[in-house]
């Protein structure tokens, strides 16, 4: 059976009680019988609100980060068990903004993925190269190194993760990898997963570099692109619904 595509919105540090209410209601109204899985990854303070708003529809709830620790003296951190209590299904780990601004290492990202899996939350593991790394011909080396850390730490559970390829040079810049560029990297990641688990085909590999309503269909048509991790376009209900409609 062919797995459904997954479209996950990443709101980043955006939102308000009023804006969230209008956005989620509009998405839920337009969702209908979507052919794909749909999730929104929202700032932690709004998890309870969106959990209530999504009741009765197929919209899944995601977090934008998770602590590698289960509990303890870690001021400001949010554990996977806490997220689970709010019905969180997905948690983004290793987003390039976390790696860049918060110094998150490959090993830390792997530990966060492990913590999420231990509580039944699916980590969306982000990998991707900078413009300098791409221009130096190091794209494959970088993404394989980032994913290898997660495979090493999670072993037999690796088929339970989601991978998101997010070329750093295409995040929030308006630049997008061409379908051929994206497919090439997705194929590399798929091969790496196949070497690690016999269940690699279960793993969704999402594209996440400025996917929008205009380019979603061409990207989603690629053989190894199983969905999208959508940034800015997920804050506009009409655009997000158009991407969802393209994910068949």
**Out of 60, 97, 160, 166, which one is annotated catalytic?**
166
Nearest to 92 by CA among 71, 62, 70: 62
- How far is residue 155's CA from residue 137's CA, in Å, rounded to a whole number? 29
CA distances from 233 to 7, 83, 105, 217, 241 (A): 11, 25, 28, 14, 9
Is 208 known as a binding-site position? no
**Out of 95, 160, 186, 204, which one is annotated catalytic?**
95
Is 194 known as a binding-site position? no
Is 72 known as a binding-site position? no
User: Is residue 85 annotated as part of the catalytic site, yes or no?
Assistant: no
Whether 28 contacts 51, CB under 8 Å = no
Nearest to 147 by CA among 136, 135, 133, 162: 162
Is 10 known as a binding-site position? yes
Is 169 known as a binding-site position? no
Tokens of 67: 């602590």
Is 11 known as a binding-site position? yes
- How far is residue 116's CA from residue 91's CA, in Å, rounded to a whole number? 7
Is 212 known as a binding-site position? no
3-state SS, 44-102, equals: HHHHHHHHHHCCCCCEEEEECCCCCCCCCCCCCCCCHHHHHHCCEEEEEECCHHHHHHH
User: Is residue 95 annotated as part of the catalytic site, yes or no?
Assistant: yes
Instruction: Classify burial at 76, counting beta carbons within 10 Å of its beta carbon; exposed 0-12, middle 13-18, buried 19 or more.
Output: exposed
Q: Which residue positions form the known binding site?
A: 10-12, 172, 210, 231-232
Q: Which residues are part of the catalytic machinery?
A: 95, 166
Q: Which residue positions form the known binding site for substrate?
A: 10-12, 172, 210, 231-232
């Amino acid at each position: 059976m062919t797995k459904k595509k997954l479209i996950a919105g990443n709101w980043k540090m955006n939102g308000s009680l009023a804006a969230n209410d209008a956005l989620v209601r509009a998405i839920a109204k337009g969702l209908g019988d979507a052919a794909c899985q749909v999730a929104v990854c929202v700032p932690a303070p709004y998890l309870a609100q969106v959990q209530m708003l999504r009741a009765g529809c197929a919209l899944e709830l995601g977090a934008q980060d998770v602590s590698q620790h289960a509990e303890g003296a870690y001021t400001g951190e949010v554990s996977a068990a806490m997220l689970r209590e709010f019905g969180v299904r997905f948690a983004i780990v290793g987003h390039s903004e976390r790696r860049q601004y918060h110094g998150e290492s490959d090993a830390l990202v792997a530990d966060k993925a492990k913590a999420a899996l231990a509580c039944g939350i699916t980590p969306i593991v982000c990998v991707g190269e900078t413009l300098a790394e791409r221009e130096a011909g190091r794209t494959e080396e970088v993404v394989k190194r980032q994913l290898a850390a997660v495979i090493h730490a999670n072993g037999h559970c690796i088929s339970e993760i989601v991978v998101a390829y997010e070329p750093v040079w295409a995040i929030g810049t308006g630049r997008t990898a061409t379908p051929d560029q994206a497919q090439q990297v997705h194929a590399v990641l798929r091969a790496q997963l196949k070497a690690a688990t016999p269940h690699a085909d279960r793993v969704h590999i999402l594209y996440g570099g400025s996917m929008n309503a205009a380019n979603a269909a061409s990207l989603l048509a690629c053989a190894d692109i199983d969905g999208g991790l959508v940034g800015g376009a997920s804050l506009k209900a009409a655009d997000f619904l158009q991407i969802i409609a393209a994910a068949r």
